[in-house]
Amino acid sequence: MTLARPAVAAFQPPRRTLMGPGPSDVPQRVLEAMARPTIGHLDPAFQTMMEETKTLLRYAFQTENKLTFPVSGPGSVGMETCFVNLVEPGDKVIVCVNGVFGGRMLENVKRAGGVPVTVEDPWGRAVDPDKVEAAFTTHPDAKVLAFVHAETSTGAQSDAAALASIARRHGALTLMDCVTSLAGTPVLIDEWGIDAAYSGSQKCLSCTPGLSPVTFGERAIDKVKARKTPVQSWFMDLNLVLGYWSGEGKRTYHHTAPINPLYGLHEALRILAEEGIEQAWTRHRAQHEELKKGFERLGLAFVVPEAERLPQLNAVFVPEGVDDAAARGRLLTEFNLEIGAGLGAYAGKVWRVGLMGHACRPENVAGCLVALEAVLV
């Protein structure tokens, strides 16, 4: 006996304006690119596109690292790829925790068998370089410094250049989370001396979720090659993945890459290159300033001090007496506007308003402020 055939209508998603912590609005060009005919992941034409994607990602990361490519998986997979390759059992890792995603870094160190040394800062504040310096002084054998450049749970941006400089002076590698910062605020991998970094396709790159751009410098690659133990993840082992992502025309099968999403990332990166990376940073900063004026007019207070504030992720305290979930529900149902809720310690207390990539436009800022005013009144 077989089950009855289900009668399910085609899914038609509502049209939303996405101004939360991600995903962000996806341009029509990217959606159309993803609808192009699927070809094989070892097809010569697809391999040509892979090389172009790597070149475009180097531009986004501002790096000449040859090992720069998109991992087949969301930002969390990019994060884990970095940790499982760079951390061996017994390695001491200094982990900066100033929000949810620093906490996830800490969890990755533990699961990789590393010995974490935690540097904690309050939620809503940048990582304190003096605390990192003190941690290295106490633990001179630390091999890696891990920190979140743009903490998505709070909107705090840390001084990546200062932190990387400290790690370099102490002979340690620097591993950076730039999931929310890439393409929205300066990320200068080579200039800052970052050894490895990971990001996500669905934030300021304005692609769909499911891909995680990563980049590894020579010092990081040397660390991977010198491992005494195998990488515990077969799928994320760079020694195996490189057979697919490195070298023109000589790729070996590793996994079936997400072909159509990679079309989308390629197109999203083309859009970024057409605009210019500096112009993208300027646009995000300018629209943040407009949003800030509106928040001040509405009496909304920022979580993060201005000097440490990330332009594309704006966390504000929910006004006293306002029901967080009910207000966000009204924004969604009455205005088709999505903003983000608070995470962890900030759950129910904070709204996170994103200005990421394609969503970072004057009409979105104006519409968001009109909708918030209506809901608050």
The pLDDT score that the predictor gives to residue 283 is 98
Side chain identity at 315, as an amino acid letter?
Answer: A
- Least Cα distance to 206 among 325, 13, 40, 31 occurs for 31
CA distances in angstroms from 57 to 20, 35, 152, 213, 357, listed in the order given: 24, 22, 21, 7, 15
The pLDDT score that the predictor gives to residue 250 is 67
Class of the CATH domain delimited by 17-22+277-376: alpha beta
Q: How far is it, in rounded angstroms, from Cα 337 to Cα 284? A: 19
Beta partners for 71?
Answer: 212
Q: How far is it, in rounded angstroms, from Cα 349 to Cα 300? A: 12
pLDDT (tens, 9 = 90+) of the chain, 377 residues, equals 899 999 999 999 999 999 999 999 999 999 999 999 999 988 999 989 999 999 999 999 999 999 999 999 999 999 999 999 999 999 999 999 999 999 999 999 999 999 999 999 999 999 999 999 999 999 999 999 999 999 999 999 999 999 999 999 999 999 999 999 999 999 999 999 999 999 999 999 999 999 999 999 999 999 999 999 999 999 899 988 877 777 555 677 788 889 999 999 999 999 999 999 999 999 999 999 999 999 999 999 999 999 999 999 999 999 999 999 999 999 999 999 999 999 998 999 999 999 999 999 999 999 999 999 999 98
- In three-state secondary structure terms, 377 is coil
CA distances in angstroms from 105 to 14, 136, 301, 360, listed in the order given: 34, 18, 29, 28
- In three-state secondary structure terms, 201 is coil
Place of tokens 């391999």: 47
- DSSP state string for 259-323: HHHHHHHHHHHHHHHHH-HHHHHHHHHHHHHHHHHHHHHHTPPBSS-GGGB-TTEEEEEPPTT--
Q: How far is it, in rounded angstroms, from Cα 89 to Cα 314? A: 38
Q: Are strands 115-120 and 92-97 parallel, antiparallel or unpaired?
A: parallel
pTM given for the model = 0.96
Tokens of 335: 């205005």
Q: Which helix (H) or strand (E) holds 370?
A: helix 362-376
Q: How far is it, in rounded angstroms, from Cα 208 to Cα 91? A: 35
Rg (CA), the chain: 21
The pLDDT score that the predictor gives to residue 240 is 86
The pLDDT score that the predictor gives to residue 74 is 92
Q: CB–CB of 60/277 below 8 Å?
A: yes
In eight-state DSSP terms, residue 134 is H
Q: CB–CB of 89/119 below 8 Å?
A: no
Q: Are strands 340-341 and 211-216 parallel, antiparallel or unpaired?
A: unpaired
Class of the CATH domain delimited by 28-273: alpha beta
- In three-state secondary structure terms, 38 is coil
Every domain of the chain and the residues it spans: 17-22+277-376, 28-273
